[in-house]
Structure 1
Amino acid sequence: MHRFVKFISLLITTMALVGCYHSNPNGKVLPSTASSSTQTHEVAGYNLDSVSEMQNFNYEFYKTHHYAQNYNFVVRKDSIHLLKQQPEEMLSNMETDSFAIKKNSHIVVADIKILKDDPIDSVWIEIASDQYEFGWIHESELLKSVVPNDPISQFILTFSDVHLLIFLIIISLIAGGYVVYRLQRRKVKVVHFDDIDSFYPTLLAITVAAAATFYSSIQLFAPDTWHYFYFHPTLNPFALSPILAVFLISVWSMMIILIATIDDVYHKLSPTAATLYLCRLAAVCAANYIIFSITTLYYIGYVILVAYIYYALRVYARNNYFKYVCGNCGAKLHKKGECPKCGAMNS
């Protein structure tokens, strides 16, 4: 009970500290008009001469694309190629030239142009590189070659790209663990099966499953909300919409529960046994993430989640409900008889 009170206090303190920082949730400079009012911009066949008209266009573009002028990217592909001339010249089959920007280069959106006559992509983006070079590129080509210049966005993209790799690693871990278990034929501690007397591992596994289900639900029912978060991430749940705030709170909860789990496991097991137990717990949590994030996309994840929570809580209550205490060493016992810890008989 004392450890649980400490855990709740840590959770409340962490959320309070995170909530104290309330920044612009966009995380970037809002659309601005870097060009002077005397410069003419062609957008969708119309000439925008005034600053107010350009601001309005930038704002409308920002609402649907979640970025605009002055937004920063980092090149993640080997290179991207930019058109030196205006896009209209290429569409008119005029002679054009291009140059490459290499991987890991920092770039910024300098201008946006919409050309409805372009059969490939009507949206053109002018890019300014860190070498002060300017060039144009289709938006579709740009977005698949860059990542927002934010560590959270980069983590999201990296984590999304290795889904298949994680799945293969999990299958390998399960297969390898089964082989080792069959060879050794000895009892091992693992969450949901022969678990230790701690609720934190079960709580962590359930939280991971619920967070994965909620993550896929956002992808399924509110993809634009997740798209916005990808371009403007934050670790402050109080600076986001309710649906994203709930997801971010679940992520923070996982981190705090993980700390509590590690602390409790090392207090209840030897260092070697605790390390092996945490490895097996990590494999279960990884499997939960893959299973629930995929099955939720087909709507069956919700049913599986309810069944899983019921199963996990029922197994924990059954394995960790002790009616007796050893009269010799004080160890908890499920039933009377020989104490598994000291060997004394209890009747």
Structure 2
Amino acid sequence: MQKSKSMVRQFLLLLLTALTLASCYHRSPTTSDALPVPYSAEQLDSISFYSRHHYSENFNFVVRADSLVLLRQQPEEAFSELLTTDSLTVRRHDRLVVADIRMLPTDSIDSVWVQVARDQHTIGWVHESDLLPAVDPDDPISQFISTFSDVHLLIFLIIIVAIGFVYLMRKMLRSNARIVHFNDIDSFYPTLLTLLVASAATFYASIQTFAPDVWRHFYFHPTLNPFATPPILSVFLISIWAILIVGLAAVDDVRHQLPLGEAVVYLCGLAAVCAVDYIIFSLTTLYFVGYLLLGAYVYFALRQYFQHNRAGFICGNCGAKLHHKGRCPHCGAENL
């Protein structure tokens, strides 16, 4: 017993000694004798250019236009009437890398000249104002944004979607087929999907209107991670992910509630409504009308679902969903 008490005292004494020594130890902060290296004037110019133009040297582009003409000689030689200049052409889908950037304040057309190279033998200079409309960043997300921002494509989509929507709506209403908002199934996912598309389109147009520089930077440096972007873009990316998730849930719910043929027709109608929502709200928000339309659309969609499409009862005999009390259309039982 005494031996055990002695061992306990020794252990406590050692522990107290260790704690005392540890408390006396002070780790001095590590300091570096190296002084911070100042940026050179060229580096500061490069940083300033990147912050305003969102790209710099070694940035990769892909040619979107049919062709792009490059100047072989130095940009200064383009101003000389005594020197003849030579040019070369790069074609659609050629990949280019920014080799150099030069500022020429004396150029009345465009003071920014960019040297791009396809390979070591194909390299030349071009005005930035001629380069950017003809190329896209070499990233699939940037190219997707560029495609959907094309004016001619947007006009074409408006015409096709309008014709298809009118035809499909007329046919479905005549045949009393299922369609979101009007003769919907008992699932909130299709309604939620249309509201998400309308909200995302409104938010997309709002970013382009009130924060165009943020959207331009995102175009040059895209990401699908909503936690790696500014808050305004994070909300937009979260809405895009929500559209994908709710869309999958809507497809699964439709597949379980409707036969295959009716499900395909319903999903086509749902896609048409989403396309119309995207076009209407992305365009009208540019003129600030979209915000009023969005509020009215949210009220209309929720009212239609909860008053006309939501099944609030279940048949006591077969378990089928019912919109109101009375005779069950599936088994004929009376539900009072």
Q: TM-score range by the shorter chain?
A: 0.7 to 0.9
Q: CA deviation at 1:327?
A: 3.3
Q: Distance in 1 between matches of 2:316 and 2:108?
A: 83
Question: Residue 204 of structure 1 aligns with which residue?
Answer: 193
Cα deviation 1:79-102 (Å, max 9, x = unaligned):
111101111111122211101111
Provide the TM-score with structure 2 as the length reference.
Answer: 0.84
Q: CA deviation at 1:68?
A: 0.7
The equivalent position to 2:137 in structure 1, one of 129, 148, 169, is 148
Aligned in 2, Cα 1:59/1:216: closer, same or farther, shift over 3 Å?
same
Question: Residue 97 of structure 1 aligns with which residue?
Answer: 86
Kept in 1: contact 2:172–2:178 (CA 8 A): no
Kept in 1: contact 2:172–2:179 (CA 8 A): no
Cα deviation 1:117-171 (Å, max 9, x = unaligned):
1111111101111354221000010001111000100111112122112111111
Q: Distance in 2 between matches of 1:229 and 1:335?
A: 50
The equivalent position to 1:130 in structure 2, one of 107, 112, 119, is 119
Q: Secondary structure at the match of 1:80?
A: strand
Identity %: 56
Q: Distance in 2 between matches of 1:346 and 1:247?
A: 46
Question: Residue 70 of structure 1 aligns with which residue?
Answer: 58
Higher relative contact order (CA 8 A, sep 6+): 1
Question: Residue 44 of structure 1 aligns with which residue?
Answer: none
Question: Residue 169 of structure 1 aligns with which residue?
Answer: 160
Q: Distance in 1 between matches of 2:271 and 2:243?
A: 12
Q: Distance in 2 between matches of 1:72 and 1:335?
A: 61
Q: CA deviation at 1:344?
A: 3.3
Q: Which runs of 5+ in 1 are unaligned?
A: 1-49
The equivalent position to 2:49 in structure 1, one of 49, 61, 69, is 61
Aligned in 2, Cα 1:66/1:156: closer, same or farther, shift over 3 Å?
same
The equivalent position to 1:307 in structure 2, one of 290, 296, 300, is 296
Q: Secondary structure at the match of 2:149?
A: helix
Q: How many aligned residue pairs are there?
A: 296
**Given the alignment of the two structures, is residue 235 of structure 1 paired with residue 224 of structure 2, yes or no?**
yes
**Given the alignment of the two structures, is residue 298 of structure 1 paired with residue 287 of structure 2, yes or no?**
yes
Kept in 2: contact 1:109–1:128 (CA 8 A): yes
Spell out the pairing of 1:1-347 with structure 2 (5 A cutoff): 52-93=40-81, 94-130=83-119, 132-161=121-150, 162-181=153-172, 185-347=174-336
Q: Secondary structure at the match of 1:64?
A: helix
Cα deviation 1:183-217 (Å, max 9, x = unaligned):
xx321111111110001000100000000000000
Q: Secondary structure at the match of 2:96?
A: strand
Cα deviation 1:23-58 (Å, max 9, x = unaligned):
xxxxxxxxxxxxxxxxxxxxxxxxxxx982211111
Q: Distance in 2 between matches of 1:217 and 1:277?
A: 31
Question: Residue 42 of structure 1 aligns with which residue?
Answer: none
Kept in 2: contact 1:324–1:333 (CA 8 A): yes
Provide the TM-score with structure 1 as the length reference.
Answer: 0.82
Q: Secondary structure at the match of 1:144?
A: helix
Q: Secondary structure at the match of 1:127?
A: strand
Q: Which amino acid aligns with 1:165?
A: F
Q: CA deviation at 1:333?
A: 2.3
Q: Distance in 2 between matches of 1:181 and 1:320?
A: 16
Larger radius of gyration: 2
Q: CA deviation at 1:181?
A: 4.2
Question: Residue 40 of structure 1 aligns with which residue?
Answer: none
Q: Which amino acid aligns with 2:118?
A: S
Question: Residue 9 of structure 1 aligns with which residue?
Answer: none
Q: Which amino acid aligns with 1:172?
A: I
Q: Which amino acid aligns with 2:126?
A: I
Q: Secondary structure at the match of 2:100?
A: strand
Kept in 1: contact 2:187–2:310 (CA 8 A): no
Cα deviation 1:243-277 (Å, max 9, x = unaligned):
11111111011111111111111011111111111
Kept in 1: contact 2:67–2:90 (CA 8 A): yes
Q: Which amino acid aligns with 2:193?
A: L
CA-atom RMSD in angstroms:
1.7
Q: CA deviation at 1:291?
A: 0.5
Aligned in 2, Cα 1:175/1:121: closer, same or farther, shift over 3 Å?
same
Q: CA deviation at 1:298?
A: 0.6
Q: Which amino acid aligns with 2:72?
A: K
